[in-house]
Amino acid sequence: MCNMTFEESCGDNATERMDSVARALEDVLSAALPQGCITVGVYEAAKSLNVDPDNVVLCLLATDEEDVEDVALQIHFTLIQAFCCENDINILRVNNMRRLAEILGEMKPGGEPMDLHCVLVTNPQSSTWKDPALSKLNRFCRDSRCLDQWVPVISLPER
């Protein structure tokens, strides 16, 4: 077995592939938001995972540099990751919470800031979601797991 990172295994195309995956993530989030298929916040995500884990298609765990030393947040992440792995839910770590806030909006309807540390993408109530961008993310997560990267990290580029 080889212990290369996903980027190393892709060779020269690693940067292009990571950019493509980051764009796919932005596309998935942009498509899911108007459909009401986004759950935002660590506690809200935990409640949603408890009620209907089969409906969750993707879990994002987002941090910035100052969050790395937040022990409570890291404990929440560990528990959410374990639950997602047990229930075959793809997980991505996302760097650049500012860009994530730009995509999803920073405020709840009441003007309260959103907790973007955990974001779930769910299937629309009407049907199973068939989206090429989501398929690309699922393939990326599957390929990463084959390389023993169970929670790959995506850096969302600035726009």
pLDDT tens profile 110-148? 767 788 999 999 987 666 557 889 999 999 999 998 888
Residue 19 belongs to some domain of the structure? no
Higher pLDDT, 12 or 66: 66
**Owning domain of residue 144:** 36-155
Q: Which of 2-6, 97-101, 153-157 has the lowest mean pLDDT?
A: 2-6
Residue 46 belongs to some domain of the structure? yes
Give start and end residues of each alpha helix (H) in the chain.
6-10, 14-32, 42-51, 71-86, 97-104, 132-146
pLDDT value of position 107: 61
Contact criterion met (CB below 8 Å) for 92 and 84: no
pLDDT value of position 150: 84
Number of domains within the chain: 1
Residue 18 belongs to some domain of the structure? no
Q: What is the CATH number of the domain that holds 84?
A: 3.30.1330.30
Residue 150 belongs to some domain of the structure? yes
43 Ramachandran zone, left/alpha/beta (phi>0; psi -120 to 50): alpha
pTM of the model: 0.85
